[in-house]
Every structure is written in C-alpha cells, then in structure tokens.
Structure 1
Amino acid sequence: MSRPVMPWIMSLCILAAWSPGQAASPSPLHPHETALQMHRAGNPAGAADLLHELHRRHPGDQRILYDLIAALSAAGRDAEALALRPAAGDVV
C-alpha cells in the first residue's frame, strides 16, 4: 500500500470509532438506560416494569431504586412507590 493512502485509512478508522450512532441507541446490555429513555418518552409504566426487574436483580443499586420510585410515581402507582421508600433511606 502506498504511503499517502495510510493517513486517509487511519482517519476513516478514527471517524468510525467516534460515530455517535452507537451512543444514540440504547444497547440491550444497558436496560437501566433503556428504562430511563422509556420514562422520558412518556412511558413511565413500562419503565417501572423494567426497573422492577432490575431492582430485583440488583437490590443494592440505589440509582435503580430511586429511578424506580420516580417511574412508579409518574405512572400513578403511588402506593408501590411509597412501599419502596424505607429501602431508599433518609435522603433529602
């Protein structure tokens, strides 16, 4: 391969690595992010269902717990949200 072509190929490789397309769509490996996007898109009930499953698998993850409480509340499932309140601890 001639020398002038190498920098051009390297530039294409770098641009492909920085492609924003992959960051824009949620990955199946990141269900927490998928749940947050569902909530933001106006589907808090669907987000709450997904977050319930995540909370069951990761009960110590406070981020999931707080997002679950918010999604439940936004979905009108206040009794469920309040039932999780003791697990959230005393946070102001």
Structure 2
Amino acid sequence: MSSVPFVGTVYEATHVRLRNAGDAWNSHDLTDVFYLACASAYADVVVCEKKAGDYLTRAWRGRNGGARLVTSLAAAVASLEARVAGSVRTY
C-alpha cells in the first residue's frame, strides 16, 4: 500500500476509528476520514479537528510520509511560513 498512500491511510485511520467503540460516530466522520486521509497523504500541511488529527496521526505511525497535521489556523500559518522560509533561495 506504500505505492498508494491514500488507500493505506484510509485503511489505518478507519481501523483505528472502529477499534474505539466508546467514540460515537458523527455524520461527518466518514467524510473526514476519506478527505483528510487523502490530503494527509499528498499535501504538506493539513488543518483538521483534534479528533481527526489524532486518528490520522495514529494512521501514519510506522509509515513514511504524511503531511504535518495541525489543529488550528495559527499553527497552519506558522507551519507554512516555516516551509516558505526554508525554501527561499539566496543567490
């Protein structure tokens, strides 16, 4: 599944989510798993709720890659600024 990181991330996040029997499903949880798993597999930074971030963090354990997961817009801005500062070339 390493050649298709989205599939592996959906599998792992869903598996972790289903193992937590005490956590009630909300109407948007499955949508979060699919779209945020895709984003976490191919983007640099993903902004998500704490609950989804926790499941995605667990899904990426033991695997290479994955986006930086942040749970606030301020953290997203800081992460993006750091990425931009690191990629600026001086001639």
Larger-Rg structure? 1
Fold shared, TM-score > 0.5 on shorter chain = no
Q: Higher relative CO (CA 8 A, sep ≥ 6), structure 1 or 2?
A: 2
TM-score normalized by the length of structure 1? 0.29
TM-score normalized by the length of structure 2? 0.29
Greater percentage in helix = 1
